[in-house]
Amino acid sequence: MKRFVICLSGLIFACYIYRRFFPKPAAQNDAEQTVYIMKTGSRYHSAGCRHLQKNRIPMLLKDAAARRYGPCSVCRPPVS
């Protein structure tokens, strides 16, 4: 039991150090984030989505929402 408590406290401390010295990058304004659409389809995608093809078209998130594109359910890009 004592080893478990020591391991758990070490893990908690390591998570604290990681978050302290490696913060998340500053997020872009969601409306100004680039998403990708395709000529056919009604969804917008993140850059690494497996559903994107070579004919992807970059677009701002606010423009994709204005054109009534919906978010992909696989890559889950931000929702406007």
Q: Would you state the pLDDT for residue 45?
A: 94
CA dist 70 and 74 (Å) reads 12
Does the pLDDT of residue 21 top 90, yes or no? Answer: no
Of 75, 41, 76, the residue nearest 57 (C-alpha): 41
In the block, tokens 């997020």 appear at 27
Model confidence pLDDT, tens digit, residues 28-52: 566 688 999 999 899 999 998 998 9
Of 62, 63, 61, 41, the residue nearest 52 (C-alpha): 41
- Considering the chain, what is the average pLDDT of its residues? 83
Put simply, whether the predicted model's pTM sits higher than 0.75 gets the answer no
Of 60, 63, 2, 13, the residue nearest 33 (C-alpha): 60
- The domain spans of the chain are 30-71
Average pLDDT (7-18) is 77
Does the pLDDT of residue 64 top 70, yes or no? Answer: yes
Which 8-state DSSP code applies to residue 76?
-
